[in-house]
Amino acid sequence: GQQVMQIPQYQHVQEGEDFTTYCNSSTTLSNIQWYKQRPGGHPVFLIQLVKSGEVKKQKRLTFQFGEAKKNSSLHITATQTTDVGTYFCAGKGHDMRFGAGTRLTVKP
């Protein structure tokens, strides 16, 4: 069945360092969404990518959708303590499936 894999599971960075999380699907996706869950909170929608090779930016966050529409990445430039949380990708194949998430911690 459809699987969405996300790596790494955990990432600890020093404030100011960059961070990247990767999402890979076993099947071609029609779209991919990214969500952020702050500690103790609920997931909150960040962005949706639909087109092959699409790149979108939100301030220090850059989202990419692979050419084959089977993988995606989220890159944060110069992390800040406000970036802490778990980042989830969610891919739409037959239905919407979430990755396991990458938990980011940032040391000030």
Q: Report the nearest approach of another protein to the CB of residue 100 (Å).
A: 4
DSSP per residue, 65-106: E-TTSSEEEEEESS--GGG-EEEEEEEESSSEEE---EEEEE
- Return the number of the residue (40 or 108) whose C-beta is nearest another protein: 40
- Return the number of the residue (48 or 77) whose C-beta is nearest another protein: 48
- Return the number of the residue (27 or 31) whose C-beta is nearest another protein: 31
Contacts to another protein by CB under 8 A: 6, 30-31, 33, 35, 41-45, 48, 50, 88, 90, 92, 95-101, 103
Give the number of other CB atoms < 10 A from CB of residue 37. Answer: 15
Find out whether 33 and 47 touch, Cβ atoms under 8 Å. Answer: yes
